[in-house]
Amino acid sequence: MQKLKRSSINMPHKKSQITLIILIAMVILFAFLGVYFLTIIVSPQRSLEIPFEKGAIEQYMTNCLKAEAENALILMGKQGSFLEPEEYVTSDNYKISILLKSNASLIPRDSVVEEQLSSYIDEHMLSCLQNFRDFEKQGWKVTYETPQTKATLNKKDITFQQLFLISVQKDTAITFKEFTYTAPVRLSYVLEITKKIIDFSILESGYTDLTALAAESVNVTIMPYQGSVLYSIQDEQSRIMNEPYMFNFAIKP
């Protein structure tokens, strides 16, 4: 078993999924992440002509659910399981959660992660839909209730089920009450790896088990940052907008 002390910055010599890089590489990584974060966590403003058909309207709604689910997942990955962290180290555009501090684990339960994702979508859904302005421009009358989304972490993906009662009226009325989207992101698996890292660090006084991490089907980068150690997990098997999913968190002595 190959172990790495949190305070160590020596580069391992054998080829592995695990890379430990020094401060200059950290600057490059954060420059990339900053641009990536700013360019993709955006709900594009648009004006569309939509046919008054159930399938077309349903697709329009589902596209917004998908967009906001992806935004929530990207932000959660960049910030390490908390959309509004209380304990964090700062980067230019976001806050990276500290998930181990003074040998105490701060990693949230899966149910807390699910609740955060759900709340984010509910808070941003109407903004993505532009408060149904595209519908109203076409002379349609829209009545609706507040959306209620439930995110569920599965082994290989995340399911978003949204109760959203909507009636769209032209000459006749089309009604909807539920929309669904499944994101191909293994967040549950990434959180399991994160918990293993934290548990091992607590047990072994700050060491990281590089051998165990090399056996996982993700890439892990470890670097010193702002008096802490930053872990960045990249999962090529989980993709959003054709980019591998990235999950960052920090450990602070």
- Averaged over 96-107, what is the pLDDT? 96
Q: Which pLDDT does position 31 carry in this prediction?
A: 47
pTM above 0.85, yes or no: no
Domain of residue 182 covers 3-8+24-29+51-252
| DSSP string over 19-36 | EE--HHHHHHHHHHHHHH
Q: Which pLDDT does position 191 carry in this prediction?
A: 98
Q: Which pLDDT does position 92 carry in this prediction?
A: 81
* The total number of structural domains that make up the chain: 1
Asked if the structure places residue 224 within a domain, the reply is: yes
Q: Computed from CA positions of residues 136, 138, 141, 142, in that sequence, does the dihedral angle turn out positive or negative?
A: negative
Chain segment 54-90, per-residue pLDDT in tens: 999 999 999 999 999 999 999 999 999 999 999 999 9
Q: Which pLDDT does position 205 carry in this prediction?
A: 83
Confidence of residue 46 (pLDDT cuts 50, 70, 90): low
Lowest mean pLDDT among 44-53, 173-182, 190-199: 44-53
Asked if the structure places residue 44 within a domain, the reply is: no
Chain segment 222-236, per-residue pLDDT in tens: 999 999 999 999 999
Asked if the structure places residue 161 within a domain, the reply is: yes
Lowest mean pLDDT among 26-30, 90-94, 195-199: 26-30
Asked if the structure places residue 196 within a domain, the reply is: yes
- Averaged over 138-160, what is the pLDDT? 97
- Cα distances (Å, whole numbers) of residue 77 to 95, 97, 137, 170, 203: 11, 10, 37, 41, 25
Higher pLDDT, 176 or 41: 176
Per the CB < 8 A criterion, the answer to whether 105 and 198 are in contact is yes
Q: Which pLDDT does position 197 carry in this prediction?
A: 97
